[in-house]
Structure 1
Amino acid sequence: MAESSFVQPAILEFDGYYDHWAMLMENFLRSKEYWHLVEAKIPEATRATDLTEVQKKAFEDQKLKDLKVKNYLFQAIDKSISETILKKDTAKDIWDSMKQNHQGTAKVKRAHLQALRKEFEILQMRAGESVNEYFARTLTIANKMRIHGEATPDVTIIEKILRSMTPQFNYVVCSIEESNDVDTLSIDQLHSTLLVHEQSYD
């Protein structure tokens, strides 16, 4: 019989963007049926004489599962960060510490988003910059805005790119705007059209 080709979901390494990481990490832990251990802390151990054998087994089972969740979290967190949470007793303690230290206050998040909006607003293709480079730069900023809660539809990105290209693209930009409905044009379609135009100049 052929071996199963099922691939385990990957553990996402924390890259500084807490909200995005937390969303994917929560999905990962839910897929393992361990999320309840983050939502509710495992109970403190009581005296062995107060527990029945069934209760002892259930408690040990919870402790083992909590240890697995802690292991997943440590795999996702850089050493420089993990050193600050090594003494946290449970998975919930680690999760709460990460949230407190990295989610940031609403005021800080608003300020960061405002800075990204400004960066997006003044974005212009540089002289000598390739289409690939400019798309990468634009999409990086747009994706950061999305991660910080900004609704940035594809049409906003497309319109931004069309009005911020260097003069050598003026003709093709006018052609795209006249022959396409920008609302239905995809970013990939725009990218490929501009690449063809760029290559015609090489």
Structure 2
Amino acid sequence: MKKKYLGSVRAKRQQLQALHTEFEMLRMKSGESVIDYFSRMMAIVNKMHIHGDKMEDVTVIEKILRSLTPKFNYVGCSIEESKDLDDLSIDELQGSLLVHEQNFKQQEKEEQALQVTTSNKFLAPNSAG
């Protein structure tokens, strides 16, 4: 019985080490949505909790902020400067990043609309003739 328990503890420890490595290696992919990235992150964190790791929210928040894509750099910096990360929840961080992601998408739509309008002006036949 003792050997079986020790084997199980050893296997759990190895699994937890693998999860720690996966956690540290995790980065937001270019073009990935905030929701998808948070889902991947929280899946790993939840597995770590199941295996007995008592990771604090602030550790997860710091990891998320340092592993965002470059377009979120200024957002991450402003969050770090304006908020106490010890008091910030993961949900609040996600909400804040989602707002910025929506702003990015809106700006991209406006830029595309402006490009189409500008292109149409140059392509339209001269009707003043």
Q: Same fold by TM (over 0.5)? A: yes
Higher helix share: 2
Structure 2: segments with no counterpart, 5+ residues: 106-129
Structure 1: segments with no counterpart, 5+ residues: 1-99
Per-residue displacement from partner, 1:127-175 (whole Å, max 9, x unpaired)?
1110000000000000100100011111111011000000000011010
Q: Does residue 1:189 correspond to 2:92, yes or no?
A: yes
Counterpart of 1:122 in structure 2 is 25
Superposition RMSD in Å: 1.1
Task: Give the whole-Å Cα distance in 2 for the aligned partners of 1:143 and 1:134.
Answer: 14
- Please state how far the C-alpha of 1:117 moved relative to its aligned partner: 0.4
Amino acid at match of 2:78: S
Task: Give the whole-Å Cα distance in 2 for the aligned partners of 1:144 and 1:105.
Answer: 16
Q: Determine which structure has greater relative contact order: mean sequence separation of CA pairs < 8 Å that are 6+ residues apart, divided by chain length.
A: 2
The structure whose Rg is larger is 1
Counterpart of 1:108 in structure 2 is 11
Under a length normalisation based on structure 2, what TM-score does the superposition of the two structures give? 0.75
Task: Give the whole-Å Cα distance in 2 for the aligned partners of 1:189 and 1:112.
Answer: 30
* Matches for 1:16-165 after TM superposition, within 5 Å: 105-165=8-68
Task: Give the whole-Å Cα distance in 1 for the aligned partners of 2:25 and 2:52.
Answer: 20
The SS at the match of 1:124 is coil
Task: Give the whole-Å Cα distance in 2 for the aligned partners of 1:165 and 1:192.
Answer: 15
Determine what percentage of the aligned residue pairs are the same residue.
Answer: 61
- Please state how far the C-alpha of 1:108 moved relative to its aligned partner: 0.7
Under a length normalisation based on structure 1, what TM-score does the superposition of the two structures give? 0.48
The SS at the match of 1:149 is coil
Amino acid at match of 1:141: I
Task: Give the whole-Å Cα distance in 1 for the aligned partners of 2:9 and 2:75.
Answer: 42
Counterpart of 2:83 in structure 1 is 180
- Please state how far the C-alpha of 1:107 moved relative to its aligned partner: 0.9
Q: Does residue 1:166 correspond to 2:69, yes or no?
A: yes
How many pairs does the alignment contain? 100
